[in-house]
Structures are given as C-alpha cells and as structure tokens.
Amino acid sequence: MTTAHDVVLVGGGGAGLRAAIAIAEARPELDVAVVSKVYPMRSHTVSAEGGAAGVIGADDSLDEHIYDTISGSDWLADQDAVEMFVEEAPRELIRLEHWGCPWSREPDGRVAVRPFGGMKKQRTWFAADKTGFHMLHTLFQTSLKYGTIHRYDEWFVTKLVVDDGVIQGVVAIELSTGRIETMTAKAVILATGGCGRVFPFTTNAAIKTGDGMSLAYRAGAPLKDMEFVQYHPTGLPFTGILITEAARAEGGWLLNKDGYRYLQDYDLGKPEPTPVLRSMELGPRDRLSQAFVHEVEEGRAIDTPYGPAVHLDLRHLGAKVIDAKIPFVRELCLKYQNVDPAAELVQVRPVVHYMMGGVHTDIHGATPVKGLYAAGEVACVSINGANRLGSNSLPELLVFGARAGRAAAEYAAGASGPTRAGLRQADDEHRRIWRELRGREPNGNERIADLREQMQHTMEGGAGIYRTGDSLTKAVDTLHEFQGRRDQARIEDHSHTFNTELLTFLELSAMLDVAETIVYSALRREESRGAHQRTDYSARDNDRFLAHSLAHRASDGSCQIRYLPVTITRWPVGERVYGR
C-alpha cells in the first residue's frame, strides 16, 4: 500500500513536533505526516528534567553563552552554528511560553533560571523538574491546531527510499497490524533521538535505539562525531534513571564513601580556586564522570550489587526546597531506591546519557542526501562538539526542529514526486521484510536478546568513559562478528499484531550499525578531547584532530572515516576552562 505526503517526519518527540509546527506555519498547503514508533507523549523528550538554556538575565549575554558552549565542547563545536543557536534559543523559549509552557517564575513574575553544569551564568529556564514533560505537552497540543499534520502513531520506519541521491519517502510497518506501507514524500525529516541503548547502563528510554541514525547511514548520509558519548554523572544504580543536574544546581553535593566532597581534588577546567567548594558539582559532565572513575580506582567508591557508586547528598537542602524545586527527584528516589533524599544519601553513578554525534547536517538541518533533514539528538550540526553542556539540548531541539521544518517545507514546495526507481526500491523493501524476517525459520542459533546484551557490554568495555587503542580494536572485531551473527538470529513470532520480536530485531540491526560507527570513529581519533578519553593518547591534538569525524557506509557495508574542519569564527582555540 502507498500513501503520499509532502513531508514525512520520522519521530514524534520535541524536535519532530517543533518541525511539524514550523512546516504548517511556513507552508500551510503542505501535507505533513508524523511517523512515530510510540504515541508522541511517550517520546523521550518527556523525560528531560532540568531545564533549557537561553539568555534572559540582565547580567548575562549572548557572547557568554556562546563562549561557554564552545569552551565546553573542547573547541569542537562549529562556532557559526553555536552563535545562531544561542541567538535563537531565547525566542524559541518565549514562543513556547506563549503556546502554554508553564515556566517556573520568581515572586516578582520574572522567568526563574537556575545554574547548570558548565554555565557561568544562571540561564537555565525550568518548569520545576519536569521541564521536558511540559515542553512536550505544549508542542503536542499546539500541533493539534493544524489539520495538515497527520499522525502515524506506533509505526516503525524500516527504510529511507533514495533514488540517485534524492529522497523519495519511507517504508514503515504499523505495529498494531503488521501492515507494511510506502509513504512517498518530497522531503523527510529525521527526529528519532539518540542511541543510548547501545550501552548497557543508560538514562535513555528503551525506544532510543539509533533507528534514525542507521536509516540515514544506510541511505548515504554520514554520521558525524560519533565517538563522543556523554555520561551523566548521576544515574540511579540498577535502573539508570536520571537524577537531574538540577539537584546539584540547587546545592547537592557528591561524596565518596568517606563522606568527602572529592571533586575538589580534580581539575574541572576551573582556573580560580576560591569558589570551587561552592560550585564544583556543576563542572562539565565529562570531567565529573572521569573523576568518578578515578575514585573507583583509588578504592573510595561504594560497593553496590550493581557496581560502584558514590553518594549524592541533598539532605542539607531540606524537604521544603526539594519539594519546591526538584519534587520529581524525590519521587524517583522514593519509588525506585526506597530512599528519601530529604533525609538520606542517594547512591548514584555515571550513566550514558546523550550522543554528541549524529547525522551530519548544516545549520538548516539539511543532510548531504537531497531532501533529507535531521534535527534533535539524532542530528549533529554541531553545537555540542566533544561535550554538551547541560540544558543546551532542549533549546537545541526547538531551534533546529524549527529550522529543519522551514527548510524542508521550502524544499518540498518546489520538489517533484517519487520516481519509478524509488517506488521499485520500496517494493523491494516490502519483500525483504516478509521474506527475510517474517519468513525466517525459528531455529536460528542466535537469540536477539543475547546478541543485544553482548553488544552492549562490548561497547561499555571498549568505548566507555576511558578507551584505549587495544580496547577499541577488540570492540571493532567483536562488532564485526556480531554483524554476521545477527543474520543467524531467530524470530519465533510470525504473528502480525504487535510483533515485538520483529521490532527488536530491526532495532538490533540499527544499534549494530551505530555501535560500529562509534568504535571506528573512536579508534581513528588518536587524542583525548571532551567525552572521548584515550589513555594511550592523553593529550588534545589540535594539529591533527581539530576536525569532525564523518563515518560513511561503503558499498561493501564497511565503515570509512573521513574528516571535516571545525568552523572557527570569533573565538580562537584555547585552553578549555570552566567558570572563568
């Protein structure tokens, strides 16, 4: 079956909904499809807690936000993209308020802002500690105003249809019926989020399996800066549930097993010693996660059934402050750890949180594949470089979701429909799913769950917080082996209705693609920069690696790495500092 749309959006979270609204506003005559493997309000944007950065205070400036972002990125961010992002972020946040987002306020009515990791000034807007929840509600409700936006909830896209370098549409499966459909489009926007599930311990929801990155990679768009994987320093052991940076912004402390605020012993890139005890917990996320590893190596971490941990201490804040500023933190700790942070210490450890890398795009969200765009965590513009600053990701999905939507709308308004060759590709994809997956014999010698778990532990061991050439080489070889073993995976469920086994097989295929680009990119980058730390190359090397890595899929399926210079505008490369 075939349906026709002008623009197809893959992903119904914050970036996808913002893009859909931008299309409807810019070109109300265009037909827009939002294809999401979950109901939009279950997209991972809903999980964001801490806030969204945007300059609003009289003591702040755009240049200061720009510099914090560039320095925090370890000078790998493209400065033209950062300048544009910082300028547009406050406008997007104000627009969101006009649509109904309930930003927290000061007693005098001004928008409340809080400090966040790596930011010198208080510029993080928040809605208590359920910021993503309120942002996503606002975007979803606003999208309902437009009759030209059509939703395909609980559909999974299996292929981008591309003919001669031009996008033609997508092929997708309806999860509730197993129906396979070709959706033709003049433009496609990927907004599927990140791929944290390639690691075993992550804050990411189960849906974040790198689907959009894999779709673009297989369609000919390179993946950029995939070696940069951000660990958040405070996840709950066992579950990986995030304890937001807002907990430390409100005054929380990180303590080792001796009750000592250990971060004062580490270089967080902060040049002046005076305020270190006050704000060291708000150092950049990569530095805090690396400090945790050293505490473990020195025997100063806490042993738990789920690995080493340290303590997050919020007791001195008191129940009143916690309930007013970070109530969700208290709720999560009580429900999932049976610990009340107002009276007890909370065990935490670093956990994979965010991908700085993603589909290579320009500042309009356009990829090298004509008519294909990307926005949000699935994309890499790049404004995050080697390390994303806390609270930059939510305004990023707004700014670049809107820009990608407007650019895709203008392109689609003048583009032609699908080609015969494109439609034949789509037919081939229909047959592949039926023949190779649904018709697969149930006696294969590999279990999908076993392969996924082995892949995750390979990634943690080979490309975790610290990497070496040996660990990465071993991971490359193991992942290559997994690609072959995947073809031997069995699918025992041949039913049509909510065939989750088929879905997990398709997700595993995407994760293996993405995992391979991470380890190949990390192996080639022989330096340490931001979240990419090589113990065999411990220094930053600007002569060789002040450049973006681009992972291309070759015709034989192998991963090839090329490099693209970083865009420098007004800020020459310097020492990475925090809190200047």
Give me the active site residues, please. Answer: 232, 248
Any idea what DSSP says for residue 370?
A: B
Give the separation between CA 31 and CA 169, rounded to whole angstroms. 13
Q: How far apart are the first and last CA of the chain?
A: 59
Give the separation between CA 481 and CA 503, rounded to whole angstroms. 22
Pairing, β 155-163 against β 166-174 = antiparallel
442-454 burial: b if 16+ Cβ within 10 Å, else e = eebebebeebbeb
Any idea what DSSP says for residue 359?
A: E
- CA distances from residue 6 to 190, 327, 410 in whole angstroms, order as listed: 15, 43, 11
For 309, phi then psi, to 5°, come to: -150, 170
Sign (positive/negative) of CA torsion 289, 290, 293, 299?
negative
Give Dmax over CA atoms of the chain in angstroms.
Answer: 69
H or E stretch at 265: none
Give the separation between CA 270 and CA 485, rounded to whole angstroms. 47
Residue 141 and residue 21 in contact, taking contact as beta carbons nearer than 8 Å: no
Could you tell me how far CA 419 lies from the centroid of its own chain?
Answer: 33
Give the separation between CA 339 and CA 342, rounded to whole angstroms. 9
Give the separation between CA 262 and CA 302, rounded to whole angstroms. 13
Residue 221 and residue 190 in contact, taking contact as beta carbons nearer than 8 Å: no
Give the separation between CA 167 and CA 223, rounded to whole angstroms. 17
Give the separation between CA 69 and CA 52, rounded to whole angstroms. 13
Q: Is 536 left (phi over 0), alpha (psi -120 to 50) or beta?
A: alpha
CA atoms within a 13 Å half-sphere pointing along the CA-CB vector of 12: 26
Alpha helices in 298-435 (DSSP H): 318-325, 327-337, 393-414, 420-432
State the burial class of residue 62 (Cβ atoms within 10 Å of its Cβ: 0-12, 13-18, 19+). middle
The residue to which tokens 């609204």 are assigned: 21
